[in-house]
Amino acid sequence: MLQIDNFINGSFKAASSGRRFDKRSPVDNKIIASIAEASAADVDEAVKAARAALHGEWGSMSQETRVGLLYEVADEITRRFDDFVAAEMEDTGQPEHVMKHVFIPRGAANFKVFADVIKNVPTESFMTDTPDGRGALNYGLRVPKGVIGVISPWNAPFLLMTWKVGPALACGNTVLVKPSEETPFTAALLGEVMNKVGIPAGVYNVLNGFGPNSAGEFITSHPGVDAITFTGETRTGSAIMKAASEGTRDVSFEMGGKNAGIVFADADFDAAVDGIFRSAFLNTGQVCLGTERVYVERPIFDKFVTALKAKAESVKFGRPTDAGVNYGPLISREHQNKVLSYYNKAVEEGATVVTGGGVPQMEGELAEGNFVQPTIWTGLPETAAVVKEEIFGPCCHISPFDTEEEVVAKANDTEYGLSTTIWTTNLNRAHRVTARIDVGISWVNSWFLRDLRTAFGGTKQSGIGREGGVHSLEFYTELRNVCIKL
């Protein structure tokens, strides 16, 4: 069976405690790997290695050499594309096309884009008048923040982990990565890539394990970790923020959402159905930007519900490697139970189940997998649990609306503020509505269309700070002002 060890100071190592945990396949729940669970001593060793790298070859490397190495990381990921696709597919159970077209290419792009950003974004400078007439030159200097703790989730493991590691390294930091316990494969593969291209030992470290009283907490509470970047659930963010308050360390948080999709009657109907189908059901609904609340203008409501139902019923479940399969399972049995409990709650709350609501009939070993049906509900009030709480599964509630005022109020009636997707052909309306919805990311006639130079993040309980483009530099560097009296 596959053994995955921690990656510390450029070497793969079993845990100093000898502890390991099992990794199960989402498609049949068989144990497919044994993972080393990092101890507090392992985390301490990684922090020391990361600090030494900052004071060693990595810290003194020219920017040109550093960004050149990051380009090589991206190229090596591309050379080993099939290995990364296979690893991520095994880990998540998601179909090959999602891996090949979104998750793995984005992982490689995350290294190149931020190498370009750090090379090309200037800092400010001011000439300052002084009473003696000689003046002073002020200029900004970006310096690395230090050792960064990167805590990642399981839903798009490689994309989300490299989205933080790419800019952190481009800015000259070193990292301790804690992949989700559910998806440790690609973080380990990236260790091989780092060694292959010659990233110095200690720059990239991977510590596997869980959250509380395990690698996650050991990293976030270690005083040698200078800042923490986290993607995951909002309540985990609260725990990490408490840990980061010791030593007043900086945090960047990308967290949960309960995002609204809004379809106006003037929308391109087919494009809107396709768009909402993707936003509600891609990756088996396990996308933070996903749309679990859909609002459709009344004149097209019935037609829209019928069209989305037909698409939801057309998916083909199975192993990602089987021909024709385009739909995968949820990540774990625990998550399947959570999603199914919401499916039951929707019925108890009086929902009309348009489609789905249960587990698909699977044959043989796949009957043990974490599959659930894409599910659509109508008829619930805005106060219903499945309309209010993040489920993180392949499901959405669809309600009709009559006015712009009404739909904006409904979209904003949530403790979250991550993203929205709006479908209309009226440009004035598009500008008006996006300006009024309280989220970090607004898509119009699209969803999850990403330009990595743009700001990414959430308002309210969906996040703290922004990453992407120059915004990543704000978090991953300290901006030092130098004032020289002339």
Residues that bind ligand NAD (CB under 6 A): 151-155, 160, 178, 180-181, 210-212, 216-217, 220, 231-233, 236, 239-240, 254-257, 288, 390, 392, 418, 458, 462-463
Q: Which does 458 bind (CB under 5 to 8 A by kind): ligand NAD, ligand 6OD, none?
A: ligand NAD
Q: What angle do CA 369, 103, 232 make, to 5 degrees?
A: 70
Instruction: Give yes or no for residue 199 binding ligand 6OD (CB under 6 A).
Output: no
Nearer to ligand NAD, 70 or 215 (CB): 215
Based on C-alpha coordinates, what's the Rg of the chain? Answer: 23
Which residues 434-453 are close enough to bind ligand 6OD by CB under 6 A? Answer: 450
DSSP E strands in 215-313: the ranges are 227-231, 250-254, 259-263, 291-297
Q: How far is the CB of 457 from ligand 6OD (least distance, A)?
A: 9
The listed partner (ligand 6OD, ligand NAD, none) that binds 450, CB under 5 to 8 Å by sort, is ligand 6OD
Q: How far is the CB of 462 from ligand NAD (least distance, A)?
A: 6
Tokens of 474: 């704000």
Least separation, in Å, of the C-beta of 285 and ligand 6OD?
10
Owner of token pair 């609204």? 260
Q: How many residues bind ligand 6OD (CB under 6 A)?
A: 9
CB of 201 to ligand 6OD, least distance (A): 28
Identity of the residue, 105 or 216, whose beta carbon is nearer to ligand NAD in the bound complex: 216
- Residue tagged active-site, from 217, 254, 297, 467: 254
Q: Is 171 an annotated catalytic residue?
A: no
Structure tokens at 103: 């998750």
Q: Which helix (H) or strand (E) holds 469?
A: helix 469-476
Q: Is 254 a catalytic residue?
A: yes
Residue 76 or residue 254: which is nearer to ligand 6OD going by CB? 254
Q: Which of 199, 157, 142, 183 is nearest to 10 (CA)?
A: 199
Paired strand residues for 13? 6
Choose the contact partner of 239 out of ligand NAD, ligand 6OD, none; CB within 5 to 8 A by kind. Answer: ligand NAD
The residue from 4, 74, 156, 391 that contacts ligand 6OD (CB under 6 A) is 156
Choose the contact partner of 178 out of ligand NAD, ligand 6OD, none; CB within 5 to 8 A by kind.
ligand NAD
In contact, 245 and 73? CB cutoff 8 Å: no
Angle at 437 between CA 435 and CA 440, to 5 degrees: 90
Candidates 8, 43, 77, 160; binder of ligand 6OD (CB under 6 A) is 160
Query: Alpha-carbon distance 463 to 232, whole Å?
Result: 10
Helices (H), ranges, 375-452:
385-388, 404-412, 427-436
Are residues 175 and 50 in contact, defined by beta-carbon separation less than 8 angstroms?
yes
What lies within 8 Å, CB to CB, of 68 at 6+ separation is none
* 456: contact with ligand 6OD by CB under 6 A: yes
Q: Within 50-109, which residues bind ligand 6OD (CB under 6 A)?
A: none
What is the phi-psi region of residue 343: left when phi exceeds 0, alpha when psi lies from -120 to 50, beta otherwise? alpha
Of 171, 288, 395, 396, which one is the catalytic site residue? 288
Of the residues 163, 204, 342, 423, which one makes contact with ligand 6OD according to CB under 6 A? 163
Residue 368: both structure tokens together:
């043990």
Write out the binding residues for ligand 6OD, residues 232-291 only, by CB under 6 A.
287-289
Tell me the DSSP string of 286-330.
--TT-EEEEEEEGGGHHHHHHHHHHHHTT--BS-TTSTT--B---
Residues that are catalytic: 254, 288
Q: Binding residues for ligand 6OD, per CB under 6 A? A: 155-156, 160, 163, 287-289, 450, 456
